Structure formats: C-alpha cells, structure tokens
Amino acid sequence: MRITPRDWRILKQLDQHGRLTSGIIAHENYLDEYQSNVSESLARLQDYELVSKVGPNNYNSGLYEIELRGMAALDVKQKYESEDNEQSLEELIEEWIGQ
C-alpha cells in the first residue's frame, strides 16, 4: 500500500467534510490540485478500500466517502511514519480495526 501526501490530504478532507466529489476536493479550497490528480488518488484509495464511491445512479455519481479503513489509516498515520515503527500501514490498520 503506497499512500502519497496528496492521498493523506484527501483522506483528511473526506474525514472532516463528509461526502465529496473529486471536483470539490480539487477546487473548493481543499487541495488546490488538478481534478485529474485527485481522481487518480481517489481511485487508488478506493482500490485500498480506504474510500468508496457512493450515491445514486449505480455509484457513478463521483461522490466519495471515507471508509472505516480510511479513518483507521488517518488514526495510525503518526505511528506509521515514526522512525521506530516496523509495521506496514496495512498491519497497523488491521490492528486498529481489531481493537
């Protein structure tokens, strides 16, 4: 699992603001990023099951929300990035969820 700084910022925005589209995340004073970059990150985060697409129309609304695994990732981020950590992000997330 590879999480970029942009991915972390997206997870934080979804955690703070709830359901958002890639366009809103990119342009509404959240990240100031190109929408295509945000969409790429969201697709990766969805593959990792940290976010999910929600909404009507067979989930083609472009609306995303953070999943429990995404909340766990945010919660263990500091431990994951510490110098003395020997666990993968995946292991830390699973440990957090199992508590």
Give per-residue pLDDT as tens, 18-76: 999 888 888 865 666 777 888 899 999 999 999 998 876 655 678 899 999 999 999 99
Tell me which amino acid residue 39 is: S
At 83, the pLDDT band (50, 70, 90 cuts) reads: confident
**pLDDT value at position 60?**
65
Q: pTM, whole model, 2 decimals?
A: 0.86
* Segments forming the whole domain that contains residue 88: 5-98
Indicate the number of domains in the chain: 1
CATH code of residue 60: 1.10.10.10
Rounded Cα gap, residues 26 and 46, in angstroms: 17
* Contact (CB, 8 A) for 12 and 55: no
**pLDDT value at position 56?**
67
pLDDT, tens digit, for every residue of 27-37? 865 666 777 88
